[in-house]
Homo-oligomer: A and B are copies of this chain.
Amino acid sequence: MAKIKKINHVAVVVGDVDEALKFWQDAMGIQLHHLEDVPSQKAQVAFLPVGESEVELVKPTSDDSGVAKFLAERGGGMHHLCFEVDDIAGMMAQLKEKGVRLLSEEPQVLPGRKMVFIHPKSTGGVLVELYEVTK
């Protein structure tokens, strides 16, 4: 049976990464590891490791993404919760068997990871992401 290993990250949508870092880094003391442009998500992402997990600050780089819509509607905040699994294909099969709706039939393959989102209708309103680290 596929297993959840840990929280990989909590994604927080922000309108301005520098402004957000004033809270997360300067006040809370969680250090920025690196910034990355993620064109597939139409976003710039700031990675801030904390314990075995990360806070990811996600800034939309286009107006037509889900993240941009979230920012426009809510002014930012917690967007999704990502769990690391040992076997994403196994977990997807297990979820489908339980009637859970996934946002895609196949995991998206990115450098270092495979990922899939679960539909918030199946989770009680939480956008849940699953990662399998492949590097």
A residues lining the B interface (CB < 8 Å): 1-7, 10, 12, 14-15, 19-20, 22-23, 26-30, 50-53, 74-78, 81, 83, 91, 94-95, 98-100, 120, 122-126
Contact = CB atoms under 8 A, between A and B. Distances in A.
A124 B20 CA distance: 7
Contacts of A15: 124
Q: Which 9 A-B pairs have the closest CB atoms?
A: A6-B51, A77-B125, A27-B98, A76-B125, A78-B78, A76-B124, A7-B53, A27-B100, A20-B124
B14 A77 contact: no
Q: Which of A19, A28, A122 has the most CB of B within 10 A?
A: A28
A98 B5 CA distance: 35
A94 B124 contact: no
Classify the secondary structure of A's interface with B. Answer: mixed
Contacts of A22: 98
Given A6-B51, A77-B124, 16 more contacts: A4-B30, A6-B50, A7-B50, A7-B53, A12-B124, A23-B98, A26-B98, A27-B98, A28-B95, A51-B52, A75-B125, A76-B125, A77-B120, A78-B78, A78-B81, A78-B125
A94 B29 contact: yes
B27 A1 contact: no
